[in-house]
């Protein structure tokens, strides 16, 4: 089904397709292009099609809308673009326009409905937000909704998906061992809004942002710690963008790796145990390319006695996506898992004993990729490595 194409409204959005020099540098870094080898699926190809659509004012075809969502929002195209097109934001804004003409993919509509009804993407009862604390209930007892300078924000995936709960458990164990006084929001923790933001649903995510920030303010929080780069990016980048810089003034948002590194540098945690493992580090796109966090995780891994850090062929700002970003896992699970499998192959080539990262979405995708290619590779979240190396 096609609908009349509404002219792209946001300032500058109609300009980018004309700036593109058609050099094609972006094609060979784009996981969606590398999966299909269709130029129409590459960043260059999509810009070309968009330019034609804007000129002709033709209805937006459903297959073009699908192509825009066959994208992990990994940002590799932006990183390499020789004409400096801010492609990451651009793809989000095009998705926003697709939402405006009610052509969002089914999975995005489902998430939208779940968020409106339950304030989490799982459509679960908010009372179950604390499911992740099951194995550390003694450590979080009395921590919900108390005043503290440090808050831990678990996010929907860690809160509700049992296979990811260990990230929250690990962070709580580390905070406790380091003597950090912390609070958690419990059922007052709402989705960070990231699923909306990656779909271009900026207005829809506003109330979630306001709620989460108000709860942090009410509890006197100064620093919020995240295991999920998507949640972190929402607070650190999208909230001030949506609500103005004053909305987050005085609040610090830090990913797990930076938090753990701070504890290490302050002498609150110390690695003394030998941890003889060869680990390939995977940079999550939302921390690396999106926010320039490359070093904290590497500094932690370097500080662990016996651990050998291996860099894959594509690393840091050139790291290949895990396949799970940009809602691709929901929109096109087969493309997503093929991309994940390719990332696992890279780690195998450098002789890694296991892969590691710091992201619930990467954890799911890489584990799916391992299964998809029937690999012997293993995967660990950074918080797991820290807990094991500390002997907690």
Q: Which residues bind ligand SF4 (CB under 6 A)?
A: 20-26, 29-32, 43-44, 47, 71-77, 80-83, 85, 87, 91
CB of 344 to ligand SF4, least distance (A): 18
Nearer CB in complex with ligand SF4: 84/246? 84
Nearer CB in complex with ligand SF4: 8/80? 80
CB of 193 to ligand SF4, least distance (A): 20
CB of 255 to ligand SF4, least distance (A): 20
Nearer CB in complex with ligand SF4: 81/389? 81
* Spatial separation of the C-alpha atoms in residues 127 and 277, rounded to whole Å: 39
CB of 226 to ligand SF4, least distance (A): 22
Q: Is 183 left (phi over 0), alpha (psi -120 to 50) or beta?
A: beta
Helices first, then strands: H and E counts in the chain: 20, 8
* Spatial separation of the C-alpha atoms in residues 55 and 108, rounded to whole Å: 28
Nearest to 26 by CA among 96, 98, 74: 74
CB of 146 to ligand SF4, least distance (A): 40
CB of 39 to ligand SF4, least distance (A): 10
Strands (E), the chain: 150-153, 182-184, 223-226, 252-255, 278-281, 308-310, 354-357, 378-381
Nearer CB in complex with ligand SF4: 77/93? 77
What would the two tokens of residue 205 be?
Answer: 């995510």
Nearer CB in complex with ligand SF4: 130/312? 312
CB of 79 to ligand SF4, least distance (A): 8
CA distances from 265 to 15, 28, 84, 312, 384 (A): 46, 39, 37, 27, 19
Nearer CB in complex with ligand SF4: 90/153? 90
Order of strands across the sheet with 182-184?
Answer: 182-184, 150-153, 223-226, 252-255
Nearer CB in complex with ligand SF4: 83/265? 83
CA angle 102, 53, 6 (to 5 degrees): 40
């Amino acid at each position: 089904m096609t609908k009349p194409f509404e002219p792209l409204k946001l300032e500058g959005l109609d300009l980018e397709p004309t700036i593109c020099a058609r050099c094609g540098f972006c094609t060979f870094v784009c996981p969606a292009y590398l999966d299909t080898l269709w130029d129409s699926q590459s960043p260059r190809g999509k810009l070309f099609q968009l330019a034609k659509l804007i000129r002709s004012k033709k209805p937006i075809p459903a297959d073009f809308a699908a192509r825009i969502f066959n994208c992990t929002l990994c940002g590799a195209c932006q990183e390499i673009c020789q004409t400096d097109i801010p492609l990451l934001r651009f793809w989000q804004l095009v998705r926003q326009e697709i939402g405006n003409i009610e052509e969002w993919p089914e999975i995005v509509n489902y998430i939208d409905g779940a968020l409106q009804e339950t304030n989490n993407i799982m459509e679960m009862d908010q009372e179950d937000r604390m499911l992740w604390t099951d194995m550390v209930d003694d450590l979080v007892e009395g921590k919900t909704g108390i005043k503290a300078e440090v808050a831990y924000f678990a996010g929907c995936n860690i809160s509700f998906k049992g296979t990811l709960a260990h990230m929250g458990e690990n962070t709580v164990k580390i905070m406790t061992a380091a003597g950090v006084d912390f609070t958690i929001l419990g059922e007052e923790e709402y989705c960070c809004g990231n699923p909306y933001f990656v779909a271009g649903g900026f207005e829809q995510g506003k109330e979630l942002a306001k709620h989460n920030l108000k709860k942090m303010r009410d509890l006197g929080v100064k620093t919020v710690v995240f295991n999920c780069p998507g949640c972190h990016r929402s607070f650190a980048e999208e909230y001030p963008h949506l609500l103005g810089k004053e909305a987050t003034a005085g609040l610090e948002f830090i990913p797990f790796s930076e938090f753990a590194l701070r504890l290490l540098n302050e002498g609150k945690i110390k690695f003394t145990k030998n941890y003889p493992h060869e680990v390939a580090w995977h940079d999550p796109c939302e921390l690396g390319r999106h926010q320039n966090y490359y070093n904290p995780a590497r500094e932690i891994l370097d500080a662990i006695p016996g651990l050998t850090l291996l860099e894959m062929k594509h690393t840091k700002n050139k790291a290949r996506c895990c396949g799970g970003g940009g809602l691709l896992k929901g929109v096109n699970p087969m493309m997503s898992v093929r991309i994940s499998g390719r990332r696992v192959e890279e780690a195998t080539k450098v002789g890694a004993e296991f892969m590691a990262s710091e992201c619930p979405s990467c954890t799911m995708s890489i584990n799916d990729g391992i299964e998809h290619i029937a690999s012997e590779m293993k995967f660990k979240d950074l918080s797991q490595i820290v807990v094991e190396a500390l002997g907690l």
